[in-house]
Structure 1
Amino acid sequence: MGIFKPCDIRGVYNRELTERDARNLGLAAGSYIHAQTVLVAGDVRLSTPALKAALCNGLTAAGCRVIDAGILTTPAFNFAVRHAGTAAGIMVTASHNPPEYNGFKIVFAGRPVQPAELTLLEQIITGRDFVTGRGSYRRDETWLSRYRNYLTGHFKPGRLKVVLDCGNGACSLIAPHVFRSLGYQVTELYCTPDGRFPNRPPNPALPENLRDLRRRVVAEDAAAGIAYDGDGDRVALVDESGGVVANDRLLAMLARHLLSRGKGAIVYDSKCSLIVPEEISRHGGTPLMARSGHTFVQSRFLSSHAILAGELSGHFFWREPGFDDGLFSSLVLSELLAESGTTLSRLNDELPHYRITPDIRLPFAGDPGEIMDGVLKKLSRFPVSTLDGVRVEFPDCWGMIRPSVTEPILTFRFEGKTGERLSFIISLMLSALPEELRAKAEKALAGA
């Protein structure tokens, strides 16, 4: 696979992604927006300064007026693009990927870049169909403090004891300050920016990356532990006993909290538990399922004018400020916890507990379209959706088989309200697979 992915541009620095690629992207993006103003920022990765400089060089060579906002979290970058009113924004980051990676997140006209636009940018680069001009460059590194002030003005003071695990990522520059400014008792864990990410990988969605946070929460007798990814748009929570709270369960809690204040639509990704749409409906909201993936969830969130959206990966999107933000989400959750007068583990226990599998990822050879067509044909007499792969859903169970958009892998996920219904949906879905792939899936599920 190349560096152009369905939602962004990403690759291993100096092997798949170089300064030349960054400059070409600047030329292509500048050509696409007809040399307007672009805000650029980057995360704390070691390769970010060189890539950002090359990107800015390409943008100015295409005639763009470039505003370099320095080092930001991705949410602070989104805030800056929105409030600066620029035609585009490009953030140099590889988000939750390992330190050897880097990449670009792009915003056009206040919305995330679409897959078709990424294809067009790639075509402009391949054909070297660039415009040229005399652009300009200036630095404006006030945006981090502006966003910090926005957050401290938006939220109520709090007194809870929390442990913040910034994973040496960009949130180190803002999260401890914001929480302390609001009155929280903060214990810092890995809150010094370091683009090598020496203490844990930058993906908090994996429980094994939260071991130190879990221990520290218990040792500090804290109300919660909060972990952020490398660029600050994902969040994970640990309860007071050191247990990791699944992100779809956090989404259900947030839905209940927001819907008690006003009704509206809430978007959830296709891999979330049934508790999410059930909880949204129970509290008077409108549940809207979206295809799994950042761009797909965000696009549904924006087009439906939803009050909230959430992904299993830890992205939570808010009507205010208008995008996904790990720090904003953790502050809402902290307010929710304080107002509830109870513990995070008890709030979690108030929700139903169904039987759900983790993602089962199986490499495969061949045409994914052919496999999925065969699965769809065999399951067509059941209630089936093709929003995201092939999904069969009953009131008390569901199963999904979907091909990865970035690698030759099939992903499986199943849920049942009881063990019996979970077994039923697994058996039904796997029966539609070719024999060899079915055997591999059964083996993987047995070990899950």
Structure 2
Amino acid sequence: MGRLFGTDGVRGVANVDLTAELALGLSVAAAHVLAEAGTFAGHRATAVVGRDPRASGEFLEAAVVAGLASSGVDVLLVGVLPTPAVAYLTGVLGADLGVMLSASHNAMPDNGLKFLARGGHKLDDELEERIEKVYEEHRTGAPWDRPTGAGVGRVRHYNEGFDQYVAHLIGVLPNRLDGLKIVLDEAHGAAARVSPEAFSRAGAEVITIGADPNGLNINDGCGSTHLGLLKAAVVEHGADFGIAHDGDADRCLAVDHTGEEVDGDQIMAVIALAMRERSALRSDTVVATVMSNLGFKLAMEREGLTLVQTAVGDRYVLEEMKEHGYALGGEQSGHVIILDHATTGDGTLTGLMLAARVADTGRTLKDLASVMTRLPQVLINVPDVDRTRVGTSADLAAAVAEAERELGSTGRVLLRPSGTEPLVRVMVEAADIDQARSVAGRLADAVKSALG
């Protein structure tokens, strides 16, 4: 059996790759592994379980609850809430485990299963590997040790989670948002209620799109992966700017008043300077991945800030932040972690902090985002190739070396296998967009040839 856990939990087509049986089995395995690790020592364990609005989340939630309760874990069902809300509630309620059912920005047929440790943090690789191993051992024959009678877990709905999370978001804002008109694209996802409520309570005039989830329309032509509707709505309504989330609202992208995109790098740059002014940017350092635009690094250097870069994935950003006590980190895709107030990327919190900076300074988002100049960057996804051979193919290494010679010091190349999808990502930056496109196209062909 191949590794089930990717960079962001277990993900795949619901009822094909991610079945009810798998969700149940992994939940039982997680309960046993965490019990063995001492997480449940001396008390009856509790888990917080939430999901995004996907139709498949209904039966997968039932399977997860069955697995946990049959293992003696009490379950608090918080319903449809963003991933960062489930993480927050896991921490604030003192739960031993959190579970989120979502495939984030993926299309509706997919779903995902993500476990969170006590405190609301993602499980480390070692625990995920142990859960997978225990699951496989019992799937192939070893019986589970099952509690009976009063030992089985109890399940109840926890309806207070929505208000607790919104109150938390409002409580950490440095200033109100009165006077701002903001368009919110909720991707028909998990933040369809939370985000408009938070922005409205903070004082903004809110216009929503993509805020009518029906279980089937999540991420469908809207949200952070499809900004066209948001751009049009911002211009049409004369809004100050727009905010877009993905399906589970752990990311945030923005659109300025002219309809131009403001990506995760620019958002981090704006928030970093705001945090420095409040003496909240510890060590004057921001953590980002190697996918961040070179223009972001140059801007941080120019502003006297340090940029620490990690492997791609918000979990690696978070590990670096926790190890060294940094306060801000994230990804170009819009996963932004403000560690003093969240244990994971939080799209609603990020959008609120961005809006607070606009309100506080009286400057437009376009002006604030101009602190950095994005170098032309081309990203090509190459599907249906052997992504495991990216680092070992001699032919591909030769193609990359040739591209790097051509770009010299004015650009860079990055090839990486996706952690959640069967493809390889080719990224090229250059001073000229035509050169970036040309080099990226040749490298994409080389990937197909070498790994296809």
Shared fold, TM over 0.5: yes
Asked whether the equivalents of residues 270 and 371 of structure 2 are also in contact (C-alpha less than 8 Å), the reply is no
Contact residue 202 and residue 230 of structure 1 kept, 8 A:
no
Letter in 2 for 1:248: D
Task: Specify the alignment match of 1:413 in structure 2.
Answer: 427
Whole-angstrom distance in 2 between the partners of 1:423 and 1:215: 27
1:248 to 240, 265, 272: 265
Instruction: Identify the range of structure 1 (296-305 vs 165-174) with the bigger mean alpha-carbon deviation.
Output: 296-305
Name the CA distance, whole Å, in 2 between partners of 1:299 and 1:92: 22
* Whole-angstrom CA distance in 2 between matches of 1:420 and 1:51: 46
Aligned counterparts, 1:21-32, within 5 A: 21-32=22-33
Alpha-carbon spacing, 1:211–1:408, altered in 2? closer, same or farther (3 Å): closer
The residue aligned with 1:319 is: 339
Q: How far apart are the structure 2 equivalents of 1:396 and 1:325? A: 33
Contact 1:169/1:202, CA 8 A, preserved across alignment: no
Deviation per residue, 1:109-153 (Å, 9 max, x gap): 332123333222222111115432223223322111111112222
Farther-moved stretch of structure 1 (94-103 vs 408-417): 408-417
- Residue 7 (structure 1) aligns with: 8
Aligned pairs for 1:7-406 (under 5 A) are 7-34=8-35, 36-110=45-119, 111-128=121-138, 130-133=144-147, 134-137=151-154, 138-155=156-173, 156-158=175-177, 159-197=179-217, 200-201=220-221, 204=224, 206=225, 209-262=226-279, 263=281, 264=283, 265-323=285-343, 324-361=345-382, 363-365=384-386, 368=389, 371-372=392-393, 396-406=410-420
* CA contact 1:66–1:135 (8 Å) conserved in 2: no
Provide Cα deviations, 1:330-378, integer angstroms capped at 9, x if missing partner.
0111111122322222333342342322345364358615645665689
How many aligned residue pairs are there?
A: 426
3-state SS in 2 of match to 1:113: coil
Residues 383-410 of structure 1 show CA distances to partners (whole Å, capped at 9, x for unaligned) of 99xxxxxxx9976432212233445533
Counterpart CA distance in 2 for 1:104 and 1:261 is: 37
Superposed displacement of residue 2, structure 1 = 6.7
Residue aligned with 2:191, SS: helix
Give the Cα–Cα distance (whole angstroms) in 2 for the partners of residues 104 and 439 of structure 1: 31
Native 8 Å contact 1:22 1:55 kept in 2: yes
Bigger mean CA deviation after superposition, 91-100 or 34-43: 34-43
| TM-score, reference length from structure 2 | 0.84
Distance 1:381 1:213 in 2: 39
- Distance, in Å, in 2 between the alignment partners of 1:316 and 1:24 is 32
CA positional deviation for 1:178: 1.3
User: Is the CA contact 1:98–1:201 (under 8 Å) kept in the aligned structure 2?
Assistant: no
8 Å contact kept, 2:241–2:365: yes
Does the 8 Å contact 2:387/2:424 carry over to 1? no
Aligned partner of residue 414 in structure 2, secondary structure? strand
Q: Which amino acid aligns with 2:362?
A: G
CA distance in structure 1 between the partners assigned to 2:109 and 2:257 by the alignment: 33
Deviations 1:304-332 (A, max 9, x none): 22111111221000022133100000011
Task: Tell me the secondary structure at the aligned position of residue 112 of structure 1.
Answer: coil
Q: Shift of residue 71 of structure 1?
A: 2.3
Change (3 A) 1:116 1:382: farther
Tell me how far apart the structure 2 counterparts of residues 438 and 17 of structure 1 sit (CA, whole Å): 29
Please, which runs of 5 or more residues in structure 2 have no aligned partner? Answer: none
* Percent of residue pairs bearing the same amino acid type: 26
The answer (yes or no) to whether the contact 2:210–2:222 under 8 Å persists in 1 is no
CA positional deviation for 1:193: 3.2
Residues 4, 282 of structure 1: alpha-carbon distance in 2 compared, 3 angstrom cutoff: same
Q: Which amino acid aligns with 1:61?
A: S
1:252–1:275 contact (8 Å) kept in structure 2: no
Compared CA separation, residues 378 and 46, structure 1 to 2 (3 A): closer
SS at match of 1:116: helix
Gaps of 5+ in 1: 385-391, 442-448
Equivalent residues of 1:39, 1:81 under 8 A apart? yes
Aligned-pair CA distance for 1:382: 12
Q: What amino acid does structure 2 have at the position aligned with 1:115? A: D
> TM-score, normalization: structure 1?
0.85
CA distance in structure 1 between the partners assigned to 2:341 and 2:250 by the alignment: 13
